[in-house]
Structure 1
Amino acid sequence: MATIGVFDSGIGGLTVLSEALRQAPSHHYIYLADSANAPYGEKSSEWVAARSLDLCHWLVREGCQALIIACNTATAEAIANIRHEMPAIPIIGIEPGVKPAVKKSQNHKIGVLATQNTLKSDKFKALLEGLDHDCQLITQAGLGLVPLIESGALDTAETEALLREHLAPMQSAQIDTLVLGCTHYPFLAPLIKKILGPEVEIIDTSEAVVKQLCRKLEEHHLLQSVPPRIIHLYSTLDAEALSAQAKQLIPAAFEQHSVQTSTVFIS
C-alpha cells in the first residue's frame, strides 16, 4: 500500500483523484488544494514553479511515496525541476490530450481549451512540435473559468456566457474534437456539450494519467491488493469548503472511503 499525493491549485484535481480511486483504490490518498493561491493559470511561470516544488516537498514530508501533479499549469512550469529534485519518487504530470485528439479527429479540426500559462509554456510548444499531423489546432485560454468553477458556479448564466465566448472561435472552425487542458474544465463538460453539441468529442486525460501512475507504482513495487480506503483532503484556504465541494463533485469517493479534512498553511 502506498501513500499517494495529488495536488492542484484548487478543486480541479478532484477529477484525477476520482479516476485514481476508480483504478487504484488500494492506497492512501492525500489531496492538497492550494486554494489560497488559485488560479495558477494567470500567475508568473517563476511563481508557479517555486510554489509547486514547495507543495511537493510538503507532500513528501507527509509520507507520500508517489505524486500526481494534477494541474496542467504546474506540470508545464515545474515538473522537470521537481523530478530533478526528487529523482527517487514517481512523479506523474498531466498535459493536454492533443495526441489522442489527433488520432480521434475525423475532420482534422481540434480545439484546445487551457489556461493561459499552459498554452504559452515551452512544454506545450514542445508537445505540438512533436506531433506528426495535418490537423488545425484552435487554442483558447479559458480566462475566468477557474474562479467560477472554484466558487461552485458550474451551471450559471455567467459561466455559460463566458464559456460560449471562449468556444465561439472553435465553433466557427467547426471542430469535431475538444481537448480540455485544465483539470478544472471536466466539471463543465455538461455545459460544454450543451454549447457544442453531442457530435463534438471531449478529451480528458485523467484516465491515461492514472494508468501511468499504476505502471510507476508497479515498477516501484508499491501496488497492493487490500484497500485501506482513506483519503485526507488538505486545503490552504478552507478544508471544510473543499470537503463540501468534493462531496458534491465526486460523491462516490465518500461512499467508499474514510475521508479526513484539514486546513494547512504552507509557506
Structure 2
Amino acid sequence: MVIEKQLYAFMLDHSHHMAEDWLQSRATEEYYIYSLNASREIGSTLRKQHIKFTTMLADCMMSGHDPYPWAKELAQQRKSAGVPLIKILQNFNRCREISWRYIQQFADSYAEDVRTSHIGAWSLQFNRAFDRVIEVFTSHYHQFDDGVTFEHRNMIQTGVPVIPITGNIGILPLVGELDTFRATFIQEQTLNKASSLKLQYLIIDLSGVYTLDTTVADELFTVIKQLSLLGIKAIISGIRPEIAQTSIKLGLNFSDILTFGSLKVALAHLLEPKKKVKI
C-alpha cells in the first residue's frame, strides 16, 4: 500500500506538469477551444480543468471514486460551448497517453520498489478509471445534447424573437447552436417580422453563439442582403473572440457590415448617434 500512496502523491504533485504537456501537445486546428492558438484565457481554463481531472483520476484509481460530478460538469460546459464529441474524445486520448507516461516515469524513478505486478495492477486500474470517465462523460454529453435539441425545436416552434426597441429599431438575439436548418428558418422569419414591424435597423446579436461555419455564415449574409433590399440596415453585435478567429480562418468577410463588440454599444450608437461612443 505504501507504493500506491506514493504513486497517488506523485500524480497530484505532477498534475501541473501533465496539464502543461497536454496543452503543449495541442495542434493548430480549426476548432478553436482545443487549438494551440486559443486565447490565454481559454488556455488557463483548460489547464485548471486538466489539473482537476488528474486529481479525480487518481481518486478513481486508488479509491474507486466515481467521476460523476466532474464528468457531468465538463459535459455541460463542452456541450454549451458547442464542442463536437469527436474532438473531445480525441483530446481524452491524448490525455490518457500523457497520464500513463507519468505513471511509467514514477515506476522508473522507484524501480527498486516497483514490481511487474504493480505495473499490471496500475494499468488495469488506470484504464478502468479512464474508461469510466469517458463512459460517464459521454452519457451526460448525450443527455445535454438531447436537451439542446428539445430547446432547439421549441425555439423553432415559437418563432424568431425579433424584439422591437423603438419605433424603428429591433433586435434579433441568437442563442445556441446555429445549424443550417435553423439558419434557414431564421432567414425566412426575420424578413417577415422586421418588415411587419416597419424597422429601419435590426441588430443581430451573436453573443450567445459559440460556433459559426461557412454555410451558416452564408445564410446570415443572405439575411443581411435581403434586409437591405427592404430598406432595413442590419448591424451585428457581440461577436465572441472564438467566432472572430474562426471567421478569419474560414475567410468570412464582415468588413461590409457594421459590427459592435456588444449589444449595449450597438444600441448606444443608434440611440445616441451624436454622442461619442467608445467601441
Q: What range describes the TM-score normalised by the shorter chain of this pair?
A: under 0.3
Rg larger in structure:
2
Which one has a larger percent helix, Structure 1 or Structure 2?
Answer: 2
TM-score with structure 1 length normalisation? 0.27
TM-score with structure 2 length normalisation? 0.26
Which one has a larger percent strand, Structure 1 or Structure 2?
Answer: 1
